[in-house]
Amino acid sequence: MKAVFFKGSPPAGRDPLSNRAAAAVMAKAKALDWEMKAFPLAAMDIQPCRGCFSCWVKSPGRCIIHDDEEQILAATAASDRVIWLTPVTFGGYAPELKKALDRIIPILLPFFTRVRGETHHPLRYPRPRRLLAIGTLRQDDAESEGAFRRLVGRNALNMGDVEVDTLVFSGDVALAEMEKQLADEPFFRGVAL
């Protein structure tokens, strides 16, 4: 199983909850013997998207910005499973993950298709994928959690209507509890595609 892990947590030590969640994800992938490419986004050189659409019209499938996002795009295109980890910020993604996701548009084609009655872009590299988005909150916040779950669902639809699972860890949840919840997560079960 090929998986790509967007670690959108701040550098080690600045967000212990997100760092514990990252450790739990890595342990689960290792236990399943997955081929995991993990990207610590805060430590990478990822420039903001220019919105120029050159990745569609000038250099199809490739962003004209040459930075660390290139390896993220290649790994995502080749993956069976995609994992996003982020502190939930006002119901959305933290800046590290948001910047990387803004630059993922080259995996889409510039054409249009109908998905569940809506207009979306088809995938450039179609393959069955599944997405797991993990959010962390310092304390329970039902409104932020709900907004995060809706946002992830909409992004999954834009990624080719992939199957999606969403987890939110809040408070001071221990690593062992995170590992238990991940073990129960459908994303990690029935992995044959």
pLDDT digits (tens, 9 = 90+) for 22-75: 999 999 999 999 999 999 999 999 999 999 999 999 999 999 999 999 999 999
Please indicate, yes or no, if residue 100 is contained in any of the structural domains: yes
* pLDDT tens for each residue of 131-152: 999 999 999 999 999 999 999 9
Please indicate, yes or no, if residue 136 is contained in any of the structural domains: yes
Please indicate, yes or no, if residue 76 is contained in any of the structural domains: yes
Question: Which residue(s) pair with 131 in the sheet?
Answer: 82, 164
Contact 165, 187 (CB under 8 A): yes
Model confidence at 192, pLDDT cuts 50, 70, 90, reads very low
CATH number for 129 = 3.40.50.360
Range of the domain at 182: 2-186
Please indicate, yes or no, if residue 165 is contained in any of the structural domains: yes
Question: Coil, strand, or helix at residue 77?
Answer: helix
Domain total for the chain?
1
d(CA 165, CA 83) in angstroms, rounded, equals: 10
Please indicate, yes or no, if residue 20 is contained in any of the structural domains: yes
Question: Which residue(s) pair with 133 in the sheet?
Answer: 84, 166
pTM, two decimals, is 0.94
If you average pLDDT over residues 160-177, what whole number do you get?
92
DSSP 122: P
Please indicate, yes or no, if residue 30 is contained in any of the structural domains: yes
Please indicate, yes or no, if residue 110 is contained in any of the structural domains: yes
pLDDT at residue 17 greater than cutoff 90 = yes
Please indicate, yes or no, if residue 193 is contained in any of the structural domains: no
